Amino acid sequence: MTDRALQDYSQSQALIPDRQVTSQAQSLTTQNSILSIDNIDNLPVQFNKRLFLIIISSTIGGLLFGYDTGIISGVLANLQPNDISLIDLSNFHKELITSMTSLGSFLASLIAFALADHYGRKFTLALCSCIFIIASLWMALSTTLTYLVIGRFIVGLAIGTVAQCIPVYLSEMAPAPIRGKILTLNVVSITFGQLFSYAIAICLTIPHAWRYLFAFAAIPAIVFLLVLDFIPESPRWLLSQNNTTDAIKTLSIIYPTATTTQLNFKIKLLQTNITTGPTTSLKELTAPTKRALFVGCTLMLFQQISGFNAFMYYTATIFKELQPSQNPLLPALLIAATNCLFTCIALYFIDSVGRRTILLITIPFMTFSLMISSIAFRNNDTHLILTSLCLFVASYALAMGYIPWSSVEFLPLDKRAFGSSCISCTNWLSNSLISISFLTTMKSFGSENTMLCFTFITIMNWLFVWKFYPEVKGLSLEEIAHIFKDGIDIHYVYRNYHST
């Protein structure tokens, strides 16, 4: 099919004049577009070996992301002051070591969009793998606090770039009917990486175990570099570089049963969405894109300031103080396992139920569990603390854990890398503020009051989703733009495709 599509591409333009095809492509964004016989996204999704390898390989970056963010809990539980030339390891030192990765990720997000746009998604991911390898060995060999903090900053550069680039790449590669599942699969790999980091931390009981925890991160990075040749570039990015030949080849992998006409139609549809060069500033954004970016960044802000990552980073530290005689990594492992399990569960209904609906259902459970945790901290009830945190993490994993990352699908192609950068910057800046202040805040204002603050934040989160977050299930990336054309049409899908 690929060869025939390439041979017939020029001929098909004569058979289907540009105006006619362009008109057809534009009609995809109307109410009846989803029923078009030439719409390639109407084809049944068929996973061949190549497509499966592409998706699994690209999620290795998510695995690295999860491992390098989750491992800090085990490191803080094992790290001794004299390991990094200190007399005492204070809460501030722990916050500094933890938050430096988020700071590096924030700075990487400022430039990652330029790398992804100018050099491609594939090159950017390869570069990140090299940084992961260097940073892992650097941290493992650190002998002072300064060197360890620098290593954490370096790995943050890779994490911030991967966190931005992989959702963009997967959203551009995935067929519309399963795009939600594919993007959620990336988050599953992140949660699995976090779970794996806790499991390794518990199993390693040797002296200086924290050095080995850091060094292990180099292994998946090396594997990713080895499989990189089997991963094609995004067809949408290839078209932005006027590389139609390779774009058709990639589309043929994604849609192995597509006809030549359908492939050509998809190419034309994508080309109509590439109107300008890559965006490099907010001033270049149109009003619809600004509205889409507002929704994506705000939802990402709520994801971070709700407290989830603070629990992931500091669970072992919290329980080490609450139960000095117990292994503090066991509660952390249970929380990580809960996160991984419920993220996997979300895979089964994300595309059928829809993102908006899941958010509106699960956020109240987050609010309830945080209220319970506040009571539990007040009464120093460790069992209730662990139960309430697991309930919070389960509710979070079902929606807020992954949906904010999929907000890149709201953005047009030529604004997607820049918009993804803005969303990532929001993530890592707020993450940095939480991680650098969480232990100090709990000590200064009390654990129960800190939980009440998170409770109030989740209430505001629900109100924001109810007012502004649109449903996009089943829509192609090109059609999503119509939701933000005149305001934010949160009921666009239901009114056009699911009304009775």
- The predicted pLDDT at position 14 comes to 42
Q: Encode pLDDT of 147-193 as tens digits.
A: 999 999 999 999 988 887 888 788 788 777 777 777 778 888 888 99
Tell me the C-alpha distance between 186 and 55, whole Å: 9
49-231+275-497 topology per CATH: Growth Hormone; Chain: A; (1.20.1250)
- Angle of CA points 393, 170, 136, to nearest 5°: 65
Question: What pLDDT shows up at residue 6?
Answer: 52
Give yes or no for residue 332 having a pLDDT over 60.
Answer: yes
Cβ(407)–Cβ(291) under 8 Å?
A: no
Nearest to 228 by CA among 114, 108, 124: 124
Mean pLDDT along residues 213-238: 87
Q: In terms of C-beta density within 10 A (0-12 exposed, 13-18 middle, 19 or more buried), how is residue 275 classed?
A: exposed
Query: How large is the average pLDDT for residues 423-427?
Result: 88
Q: What's the confidence (pLDDT) of residue 130?
A: 93
Q: Which residue has the higher pLDDT, 246 or 174?
A: 246
Total-model pTM: 0.77
54 or 237, greater pLDDT: 237
**Mean pLDDT over the full length of the chain:** 83
Q: What is the pLDDT of residues 387-404, one digit of tens each?
A: 999 999 999 999 999 899
pLDDT per position as a tens digit, 443-494: 999 999 999 999 999 999 999 999 999 888 777 766 787 888 888 877 777 7
Nearest 5°: phi and psi at 204?
Answer: -80, 110
State the pLDDT confidence band at 355, using cuts at 50, 70 and 90: confident
